[in-house]
Structure 1
């Protein structure tokens, strides 16, 4: 065989059973099921390139999930379930400054008829001014207020 051998991945009976159940469930997202198939194939002793060809993914992707699984095997399944092991890690970036509760309050305000203001409908500027005046958020731009409302409305439809 050419190239380095992949790290050995061994599954105990509980992990094997949990992975097989997860893959068979109709409610499992396909991305998670694919990762589970990678782990099961790796446990059978297949190399990354072979698994990648079988599943239609790159060998680097298989290598990444093999190494992540091996790294998380020290944690018990009671503390970290199989589906949690196969989830994406949180991405870096600035945390959200406006909470879900504040967004809901903004949406409720936007759904109400503007009584206190002499306007016929809410604009981004009007809604931003009103949520700051009511103390819902300390500061928000009209553009960001519009984006949050658009995102909130479209995700409920």
Structure 2
């Protein structure tokens, strides 16, 4: 028996502008998933084939293909857009939303440094929930404040290119170490017992504490392996830094050059340190720009030490603190994780240049 052919599907012929708009909906990251799928269906249908064949290529049912094929033929691209959903009409118009955003960005209350949802609601005669919804929708958070600082180092560009070039293309037969000191690490103990975490209740500690002295940690992070050479001292003078250099010298194999990335602290440039470096020519220093600690990868390791060990630890003496830090370093070196630098110097300088341009533009 010869099968009877199915109904002939409606043919879709796209104009150049329609095809460009549909492809834009498919590629654009902010397009809703539903609209992107409908655009793909129409584009596939325009290439030819039955509803079943198009559905198999797209991964949807043929009835879905039929629906959006017919909708497009009737209304073109407008037929693929979501229709307004029924519901209560908006009580707050665009003008009041604009006034809320403008007031948030350009004014402050008389009795505070920033707006709260309550104070803004009273100021504009809106509900707190409305203020909160608008702030969330536009990414406004008056209660938050970030910090920033641009380096004023006259050799900023040269130093960025030097350090980043070292990260992205380390020299052969050499070890690159990111060096810095974490000073004034306090041995703190809580005044009352710590209550452990329970279901529904976080761990609790007393808000006050007793100080038992401080320690300073010198650390050198191996760029390639992620291993750390550490040294703890009671003070952080040039004498201690020189002792740390000697420790690095004995730890690193003699056949390798040593490139150190470090900041511009005065303890790194004393006459005694310069004399030692002169007598140890395999050591090469690369200074980061002033106010640019983000360029030294060991700062990322210090952040992990702080969040994973120091912030919630208690110690009854400096000796106990030092023992804990050494144990943490040993555990880290058993399974080190190197930090991978990705951005080039040109990308960093371009990003900072754009940021400076935005700052200048906002001042006018």
Q: TM-score, normalized by length of structure 2?
A: 0.29
CA displacement at 1:99 relative to structure 2:
0.9
Secondary structure of 2:49 counterpart: coil
Q: Which structure has more helix as a fraction of its residues?
A: 1
Structure 1 partner of 2:135: 153
CA distance in 2, matches of 1:123, 1:105: 14
Contact map agreement 1:72 1:85 (CA 8 A) in 2:
yes
CA displacement at 1:98 relative to structure 2:
0.6
Contact map agreement 2:10 2:70 (CA 8 A) in 1:
no
CA distance in 1, matches of 2:15, 2:5: 28
Range that drifts further, 21-30 or 98-107: 21-30
CA distance in 2, matches of 1:94, 1:44: 42
Secondary structure of 1:112 counterpart: coil
CA displacement at 1:55 relative to structure 2:
1.0
Identify which of 47, 50, 75 aligns with 2:53.
50
Aligned residue runs from structure 1 range 59-98, under 5 A: 59-72=62-75, 82=77, 84-98=78-92
- 5+ residue gaps, structure 1, are 74-81, 133-139
Runs in 1 of length 4+ with deviation above 6 angstroms?
none
Q: Is 1:113 aligned to 2:109, yes or no? A: yes
The higher-RCO structure (CA 8 Å, 6+ apart) is 1
CA displacement at 1:63 relative to structure 2:
2.1
- 5+ residue gaps, structure 2, are 140-364
CA distance in 2, matches of 1:151, 1:3: 55
Secondary structure of 1:95 counterpart: coil
CA distance in 2, matches of 1:101, 1:27: 29
CA displacement at 1:122 relative to structure 2:
4.5
**Aligned residues between the structures:** 130
Q: Which structure has more strand as a fraction of its residues?
A: 2
What RMSD over aligned residues (CA atoms) do the two structures have, in Å?
A: 3.7
Contact map agreement 1:52 1:62 (CA 8 A) in 2:
yes
Higher gyration radius (CA):
2
Structure 1 partner of 2:124: 131
Q: TM-score, normalized by length of structure 1?
A: 0.58
CA distance in 1, matches of 2:129, 2:32: 30
